[in-house]
Amino acid sequence: MRTRKLRDFEVSAVGMGCMGFSHGYGALPPEDEAIRLIRSAYYDYGCTFFDTAEGYGPYVNEELVGKAVKPFRDKIILCTKFMPEVFLPGQEIPEGKTSRRGLRNSIEASLKRLQTDHVDLYYEHRVPRHRDVGEVAQWMGELIKEGLIGGWGISEADADQVRRAHEVTPLTAVQSEYSIMERKYEKEVIPACVELNIGFVAFSPMASGFLSGKYDSKSVFKGDDVRLAITRFNKENMDANMPLLDLLKQFAADKGATPAQISLAWMLNKWSNVVPIPGMRRDERLKENLGAADIDLSADELSKLEDALSKITIHGDRKDSDIQNKLGTVKVHAKS
């Protein structure tokens, strides 16, 4: 497995997003199977970057990941997140979730669930509406000095917020949705991260599975599946987005790869600071997604792909509020 740098951390070029083992994408694998897959990602493919969050489940995903990575905890970069302005069960405190005490309560509880004495990378899961990003950055700096976290990150931030937070306590990474179908962060945020030596971690790099080419308008999504709230998965939009899959299949055939691998290789070859964290719940997905790290696109190939993509219109999008309402696992409080 090739590696790249997220500021001071060296990680596998493709990481593992673990949310799907606990919720968000329909039927779940048994716990022992999820643990086996996480361990296989490390032992068989060299993945050293694992991502979870207190809100996944909530709580159960951190417990699962903690069990899975325990045999090699000191060999990997382990990431989790706290959700500002969102109270999960048992978290309501007078100062509010987005406070020095709220942040400390969250990290201490996460460490217990993860069975570790520190988290390598600790994210603010979304930018708070009622706090200055610099204030949270200060509290993160305090946790770094205490050794509870190795570095910190922020999710779904704009370029100004990234710069403001970074001035107070240098950011290790920014984590936001990024894929061939969602490219809004290319204009300002990713270039700012390159300039400031901040990593960019791409969640949903497969556009919630659409770019794998394994779904079409006849696919059925049930239960807490987030795709029921993502308009890209409306029947009309899935049909309208098929030209994108046709393009990826063409490039994949030329490279002896899969559409999923081309989708990941595209961002890996385009940016030196981007690390995608796709979800992987089957052995073939481990091999496919982690194998994308070894696919090289020449400057000419990347240019041709970009040119072809510029001629394709993407239909539908993703809205966090809709997904949160669909999952129904957290309650948002106005105070903070």
42 is catalytic: no
Question: Which of 238, 271, 278 minimizes the C-alpha distance to 25?
Answer: 278
Annotated catalytic residue within 25, 42, 45, 56 = 56
Instruction: Give the Cβ contact number of residue 39 at 10 Å.
Output: 16
Alpha carbons within 13 angstroms on the beta-carbon side of residue 282 total 4
For 7, 94, 183, the CA distances from 153, given in Å and listed in that order, are 11, 25, 20
> Can you point out the beta strands (E) in 156-213?
173-177, 199-203
66 contacts 41 by C-beta, under 8 angstroms: no
Task: State how far the Cα of 59 lies from the Cα of 63, in Å rounded to an integer.
Answer: 7
What is the gyration radius of the CA atoms in the chain, in angstroms?
Answer: 19
Task: Give every CB contact of residue 193 below 8 A, 6+ residues apart in sequence.
Answer: 162, 174, 199, 200, 273
Catalytic residues: 56
